[in-house]
Amino acid sequence: MRVEYLQAFKGTIQPLGPAVLTIGFFDGVHLGHQRLIARAAELAHARGAQAVAVTFWPSPLSVVRPDTTVQLLSTLDEKLALFASLGQLDAALVVPFDTETASLSPEAFLDLLASVCQPIALVEGTDFALGHKRLGTVEYLRGLGEARGFSVESYEVRDGDERVSSTRIRGLLRAGTLTDATRLLGRAYTLIGEVVTGDQRGRLIGFPTANLRLPAVKTLPANGVYAVRVRLPGETKAGHAGVCNIGVRPTFGGEPRLMVEVHVLDGSMDLYGLPLAVEFVARLRDEQRFNGIEALKAQISADVEQARSLLAIG
168 found inside a domain: no
169 found inside a domain: no
CA distances from 41 to 80, 194, 196 (A): 16, 35, 41
110 found inside a domain: yes
180 found inside a domain: no
Q: At what angle do helices 138-148 and 106-114 cross, to 10 degrees?
A: 50
Q: For 187-234, give the DSSP string.
A: S-EEEEEEEE----HHHHTT---EEEE--TTBPPPPSEEEEEEEE-TT
Q: Please check the confidence at residue 39 and state whether its pLDDT lies above 50.
A: yes
Q: Please report the pLDDT score of residue 313 as a whole number.
A: 58
CATH number for the domain that contains residue 201: 2.40.30.30
By DSSP bridging, strand 129-130 and strand 136-137 are antiparallel
What is the span of the domain harbouring residue 99? 4-163
3 state DSSP class of 61: helix
In terms of domains, do 220 and 287 share one?
Answer: yes
78 found inside a domain: yes
183 found inside a domain: no
Q: Could you tell me which of 186, 208, 206, 212 has the C-alpha nearest to residue 277?
A: 212
296 found inside a domain: yes
Per-residue buried b or exposed e for 260-277, using 16+ beta carbons within 10 Å of the residue's own CB: bbbbbbeeeeebeeeebb
- The radius of gyration computed from the CA coordinates of the chain, to the nearest angstrom, equals 22
In terms of domains, do 96 and 28 share one?
Answer: yes
In terms of domains, do 203 and 270 share one?
Answer: yes
In terms of domains, do 55 and 154 share one?
Answer: yes
In terms of domains, do 98 and 144 share one?
Answer: yes
In terms of domains, do 220 and 265 share one?
Answer: yes
Tell me the C-alpha distance between 39 and 123, whole Å: 7
In terms of domains, do 9 and 146 share one?
Answer: yes
Phi, psi (5° rounding) for residue 118?
-115, 95
Q: Please report the pLDDT score of residue 124 as a whole number.
A: 98
Q: Please report the pLDDT score of residue 246 as a whole number.
A: 95
Last residue of a domain, one of 163, 198, 233: 163
In terms of domains, do 209 and 260 share one?
Answer: yes
Tell me the C-alpha distance between 21 and 23, whole Å: 6
Q: Please check the confidence at residue 26 and state whether its pLDDT lies above 90.
A: yes
- Report the 10 Å Cβ neighbour count for 154: 17
3 state DSSP class of 252: helix
In terms of domains, do 49 and 156 share one?
Answer: yes
Length of the chain: 314
- Whether the CB-CB separation of 18 and 46 falls below 8 Å is answered with no
Q: Please check the confidence at residue 10 and state whether its pLDDT lies above 60.
A: no
Higher-scoring residue by pLDDT: 6, 201: 201
In terms of domains, do 152 and 223 share one?
Answer: no
Domain count within the chain:
2
The 10s digit of each residue's pLDDT in 255-293 is 667 899 999 997 767 788 999 999 999 999 998 887 778
CATH number for the domain that contains residue 97: 3.40.50.620
In terms of domains, do 27 and 158 share one?
Answer: yes
By DSSP bridging, strand 158-159 and strand 224-231 are unpaired
Last residue of a domain, one of 148, 163, 178: 163
Average pLDDT over the chain reads: 90
Helix ranges (H only) for the chain are: 31-46, 60-64, 76-86, 99-102, 106-114, 138-148, 166-174, 178-185, 201-204, 293-310
In terms of domains, do 193 and 159 share one?
Answer: no
The 10s digit of each residue's pLDDT in 168-194 is 999 999 999 999 999 999 999 999 999
Tell me the C-alpha distance between 134 and 213, whole Å: 36
Phi, psi (5° rounding) for residue 300?
-65, -40
The 10s digit of each residue's pLDDT in 146-171 is 999 999 999 999 998 899 999 999 99
- pLDDT category, 3, cuts 50, 70, 90? very low
The answer to whether the bond into 275 is cis (omega within 30° of 0) is no
The 10s digit of each residue's pLDDT in 132-143 is 999 999 999 999
Last residue of a domain, one of 147, 163, 179: 163
175 found inside a domain: no
By DSSP bridging, strand 189-196 and strand 275-285 are antiparallel
